[in-house]
A and B are shown apart, each in its own frame.
Chain A
């Protein structure tokens, strides 16, 4: 898991509720990413940030929002507009250069009540 912390490990969301997933890193990496993984599927990019105070949409950004106020932190909010939020959410960081400098966090499993 490198120096990436994701919390909570499990999260339950009620209908119409916004929830925020935490991702913190101590690797001093500039780039951070959020992915969604559904059962039997690969990772799909939600949002990414390559520098503080800047972020870009990935392939499936609708219904999600992010912020990057500090280098160490990249929280993801799953809004009520995301109608099918049940999934495994993974945060990753990348120092740049070789793919070997990318690391994933342990993930947060989001379930809808």
Chain B
């Protein structure tokens, strides 16, 4: 069983919808939780990261971490066609993000 499991998708929503992307994990030592956005044939870019449990909001994006359930989510409000991409969750024990464990990604399409 993988350390990080991500809802596989693909996900297709109409413009303006609220999107929920989710990952579960098994390693209770993970402390930093990241969400990356990856456009087709490009390198990933960090959207948000959260340390330990709690919520973090940045514009239309909200990241949630529930360490008791080993569950993290990324919510996208008022989704736009430009949000169409693959979203990867990643987790690490310390700030060494380079040694993160990644989920397999969820591909999102937002239709105008």
Q: Which residues of A contact B (CB under 8 A)?
A: 1, 4, 31, 33, 40-45, 48, 58, 88, 90, 92, 94, 96-102, 104-107, 109
Contacts and interface: CB of A to CB of B under 8 A. Distances in A.
A104 B95 contact: no
B61 interface: no
Given A99-B34, A99-B92, 6 more contacts: A42-B105, A48-B98, A94-B96, A104-B45, A107-B43, A109-B41
Interface residues of B, number: 25
A107 B46 contact: no
Interface in B53-97: 88, 90, 92, 95-97
Q: Chain B binding site: helix, strand, loop or mixed by DSSP?
A: mixed
Contacts of B44: 43, 90, 104
A58 B4 CA distance: 17
Contacts of A101: 97
Contacts of B96: 31, 94, 96
A90 B100 CA distance: 14
Given A90-B43, A109-B41, A102 B105 contact: no
Counting from the closest, the 7 A-B pairs by CB-CB distance are A42-B102, A104-B43, A99-B97, A102-B97, A33-B98, A99-B49, A43-B102
A40 B46 contact: no
B95 to A, nearest CB: 6
Which among B98, B100, B105 has the greatest number of chain A C-beta atoms within 10 A?
B98
